[in-house]
């Protein structure tokens, strides 16, 4: 992937690859790619291990932004743990990718997510809180992720996820998902109810 034309865009795609750079991390050495979606004017990134061009069964994690978890290590969710485990897993593989999407709070945005946190503090679960604010349970969209996979020229993916909606979302966009790798995160006092709600109400597998 190194040296790929950073102005590349596929015909009919709303996502453009605009920049890439070397990215050493505590987990291992990656290359980071920056993408721009003209559809919703959002910037997304992909952290890539090795050369994923024309690969089949490529390990891929689709990770939606979680400012509170990824940045501040919130214990109310398992997002940071899933991010860490995914990067650790990918670093040990010959190739793979983590696609980081700008869709905070299952698509409702950061400030509304904080409002939802407050409602959860008052006794609602994560699904009830979103609904109380007037939002659907999950507003995330995986079309940008599918376009990024195609721009990276990945032919088929093994998806690191507990969420079956991610699999169907990618498949609906023409991505071949050959297998699922679960991310099993041990619950804590603060996120136990959250994880149970995701499993019971959102169909998550763990």
Catalytic residues: 138, 140
Output phi, psi for 158, to 5 deg. Answer: -105, 115
Output phi, psi for 166, to 5 deg. Answer: -65, -40
Helical spans, DSSP H, in 41-184: 79-91, 104-107, 110-121, 126-132, 143-151, 164-172
Count CB-CB contacts under 10 A for residue 165: 14
Cα 126 from Cα 101, distance rounded (Å): 20
């Amino acid at each position: 992937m190194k040296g790929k034309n950073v102005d590349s865009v596929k015909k009919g795609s709303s996502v453009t690859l605009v920049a890439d750079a070397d990215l050493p991390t505590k987990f291992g050495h990656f290359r980071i790619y920056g993408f721009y979606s003209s559809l919703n004017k959002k910037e997304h990134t992909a952290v890539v291990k090795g050369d994923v061009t024309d690969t089949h069964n490529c390990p891929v994690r689709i990770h939606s932004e979680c400012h509170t978890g990824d940045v501040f290590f919130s214990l109310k969710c398992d997002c940071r743990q899933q991010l860490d485990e995914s990067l650790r897993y990918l670093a040990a593989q010959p190739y793979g990718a983590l696609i980081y999407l700008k869709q905070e709070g299952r698509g409702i945005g950061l400030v509304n997510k904080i409002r939802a946190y407050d409602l959860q503090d008052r006794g609602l679960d994560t699904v009830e809180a979103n609904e109380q604010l007037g939002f659907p349970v999950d507003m995330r969209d995986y079309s940008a992720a599918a376009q990024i996979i195609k721009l990276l020229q990945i032919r088929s993916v093994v998806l690191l996820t507990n969420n079956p909606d991610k699999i169907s979302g990618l498949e609906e966009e023409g991505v071949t998902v050959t297998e699922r790798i679960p991310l099993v995160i041990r619950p804590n006092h603060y996120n136990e109810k959250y994880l149970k709600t995701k499993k019971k109400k959102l169909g998550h597998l763990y």
